[in-house]
C-alpha cells in the first residue's frame, strides 16, 4: 500500500504567532512531527501542506516534501481538514499520477509521540482496514462529559440540560460509560473514501487508545 504522512501547518495561528515553528525542545514545533513520520516503518513519504514559504523551507530542510504552497482560501481559521486533504490528493494525482491508499494525519501540535506507539497505531488500522473509514487516537478521560458544565452569566449550566433529568451531573462517574478524548497521537484517513464524500472520516471511525499526550495550543503549553 502507498501510505503517506501529511502534516498540515498553516501560518495564521491566533493563540501563538507562528505556532507551528515556535521553538519547542530547542527545535521548531513542526520538526518533531516530521521526525516521527520519517522514522515510521510504514510511511513511504512525508508531506507538509502549508501556506507559508518560511514553513515550506524549514519543512524541506527537516526532510519532508513540501512541493506547493496551500492556497490561502483553504488556510483560514474556519478551513476544514477535508479542504487540505482533498487539495493534496488532487495535487499528487495531477502532478505525479500518484494516489495514496492511506494518509496518516500528523498534527504538529502533538510533538511528544513515541515511535513504538505511533507505528502500533498504523498497524492497528491496517489490521482493521476493511472495517473502518478512518482512525483517531484517543485518551481515556477521567470524567464523563455528563459531569461537565458551561458557564453562563457566572452560573453553571450542564451540557445535557435538554436531554437528561434531575441533577445528573452529581451522579458518580461510574454511572456513565467511559469517555475518550481525541489526542492527535496518530490519525488516519482514506482518500478512497473522503474524495467521494463531504466528510473526511464518516461514521466508521476506529478508536486507537494511547496514553495522554500534550496538545500545544497556548504559550502556557509551550512552557509545560
Q: Residue 157 region, left (φ>0) first, then alpha (ψ -120 to 50), else beta?
A: beta
Task: Supply the pTM of this predicted model.
Answer: 0.92
CATH 3.90.550.10 residue spans of the chain: 3-140+179-223
Domain boundaries 3-140+179-223, corresponding CATH code: 3.90.550.10
Of the candidates 9, 31, 5, the residue with the CA atom closest to the CA atom of residue 122: 5
The partner residues of 5 in beta bridges, in order of sequence, read 46, 104
Residue whose C-alpha cell is 476493511: 130
Residues of the chain with pLDDT under 50: none
> Phi and psi of 81, rounded to 5°?
-60, -30
Q: Report the C-alpha gap between 120 and 58 in whole angstroms.
A: 28
- Residue pair 141/176 in contact by the 8 Å Cβ criterion: no
Looking at residue 201, its pLDDT comes to 96
Strand runs labelled E in the chain: 3-8, 23-24, 27-28, 45-49, 102-105, 134-140, 149-152, 155-158, 180-182, 187-189, 205-209
Of the candidates 99, 2, 87, 14, the residue with the CA atom closest to the CA atom of residue 48: 87
Query: Which three cell numbers, joined as nine digits, stand for 215?
Result: 496538545
Amino acid at each position: 500500500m502507498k501510505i503517506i504522512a501529511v502534516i498540515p501547518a498553516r501560518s495564521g495561528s491566533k493563540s501563538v504567532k507562528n505556532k507551528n515553528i515556535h521553538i519547542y525542545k530547542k527545535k521548531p514545533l513542526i520538526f518533531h512531527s516530521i521526525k516521527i513520520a520519517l522514522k515510521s516503518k510504514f510511511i513511504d513519504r512525508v508531506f507538509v501542506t502549508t501556506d507559508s514559504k518560511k514553513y515550506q523551507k524549514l519543512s524541506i530542510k527537516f526532510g519532508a516534501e513540501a512541493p506547493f504552497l496551500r492556497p490561502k482560501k483553504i488556510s483560514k481559521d474556519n478551513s476544514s481538514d477535508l479542504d487540505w486533504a482533498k487539495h493534496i490528493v488532487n495535487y499528487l494525482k495531477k502532478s505525479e499520477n500518484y494516489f495514496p491508499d492511506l494518509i496518516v494525519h500528523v498534527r504538529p501540535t502533538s510533538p511528544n509521540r513515541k515511535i513504538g506507539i505511533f507505528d502500533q497505531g498504523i498497524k492497528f488500522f491496517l489490521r482493521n482496514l476493511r472495517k473502518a473509514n478512518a482512525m483517531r487516537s484517543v485518551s481515556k478521560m477521567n470524567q464523563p462529559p455528563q459531569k461537565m458544565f458551561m458557564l453562563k452569566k457566572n452560573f453553571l449550566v450542564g451540557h445535557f440540560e435538554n436531554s437528561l433529568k434531575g441533577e445528573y451531573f452529581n451522579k458518580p462517574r461510574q454511572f456513565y460509560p467511559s469517555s475518550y478524548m481525541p489526542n492527535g497521537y496518530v490519525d488516519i484517513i482514506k482518500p478512497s473514501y473522503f474524495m467521494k464524500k463531504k466528510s473526511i472520516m464518516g461514521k466508521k471511525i476506529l478508536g486507537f487508545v494511547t496514553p495522554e499526550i500534550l496538545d500545544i495550543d497556548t504559550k502556557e503549553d509551550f512552557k509545560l
